[in-house]
Amino acid sequence: MDMNRNPYLLRIGGEDCPASSGQTFDSLNPATGSPWARVAAATQADVDRAVTVARAAFEAPTWHGLTATQRGRLLTRLGDAIAARADEIAALETRENGKLYREMLGHLRLIPEWLYYFGGLADKLEGSVIPVNRPEMLTYTRHEPLGVTAIISPWNSPVLITMMMASAALAAGNTIVVKPSEHTTAGPLEVLRMAESVGFPPGVVNVLPGGPDIGAALVNHPLVAKIGFTGSSATGKRIASIAGARLASCTLELGGKSPNIVFADADLDAAEAGVLAGIFAATGQTCIAGSRLLVEDSIYDRFMERLIARARAIRVGDPMDQDSQMGPVATRAQLDCIEQFVEQARRAGSTVAVGGSRIAVPSLPNGFFYAPTILEDVDNSSAIAQEEVFGPVLATMRFRTEAE
């Protein structure tokens, strides 16, 4: 799709429809820094409509009346449909978030396995018979779906994380309203638009492109029984607070500041590979990125020399190019954020051993590229060691003993 074609639309009740306001927003290609598509911008009125449709679909016999085995078969068919378009959708995701095409293709080949797993699990959600001291009574439990589940997915792995949440929700018999990141809407939309074509009743799967206000409207909606969210810890805390106040369930996958710890007796080849992959794969844009590195003092200099040399050699470039080892940062705002974190670390006394700045890729001069960066002399209490950067920035520290 390009800017001259029709925009990506909302998906409500099995139909593509414009936002009630008629407004749209641009989707940017981070490798070029330029708009490549238009996306309909949902409103709070659209949220109410989508949730109402999803609730009606939940109660309708066309969905609620299906057996668990029948639901499972629909999930399996959706997995097959996604597998058939894996190459196309992977390229779409790369265009939207800048991650390497081969990584996105790996995601698209994994997603059907999630659907096959939960499709098989659907009719194995068993209750139990509970023995009680009343022989004239039969006491048992059964699992029932909650209702409408809101899924708010991030821009770093949009289709994978959306379908991880959606597959479980649908297997249990819920209906869903998905709010993908405003930066990565096309991939989730293309995947979820296939639901009706494989037999899901209209209204079971709905998609609302839009910004944080749309996510907030879903979290606050009284007909939303469950919220699945992947994103920042700060936003997750707000969602948990709102959900708790109205006794809605929520499942949160939030950010982290994961450490790698390398002792002197480690296999340094394996440690080096693990550290590099942990922070520079996906341009450091994962919630499990190994963004801190603690190295035992006796091997620190030798190990860091190896890491720095390898970081300098990383090929940063077009994410569609098979020779590229790292692509751009997903958004201009995130690029600015990374730059600010590194500058703040410099002011706090950290040393930039390699990288530490934006870089220009000759064939993509306006792309959102940042150099693989390693910081030394980091204080563990500093912001760079405590806060999630979500970029290709490694904060390193020495230690002398295991107790330390």
Catalytic positions, please?
A: 253, 287
| E strand intervals along 10-87 | 10-12, 15-17, 24-29, 34-40
Rounded to whole angstroms, the Cα distance separating 232 from 254 reads 5
The residues, any chain, with a CB within 8 Å of residue 172's CB and separated by 6 or more, are 122, 125, 143, 145, 146
DSSP annotation of 365 reads T
Output the furthest CA–CA distance in the chain (Å, rounded). 80
The torsion defined by the Cα of 99, 105, 106 and 111, in degrees rounded to 10, comes to 110
Helix (H, G, I), strand (E, B) or coil at 184: coil
Sequence-distant (6+) residues with CB within 8 A of 267 are: none
| Cα 386 to Cα 119: distance, rounded to the nearest angstrom | 40
- Residue indicated by tokens 């080849």: 269
Instruction: Please report, as a single letter, which amino acid is at residue 255.
Output: G
Q: 226: which strand partners?
A: 149, 249
CB atoms within 10 A of CB 181: 26
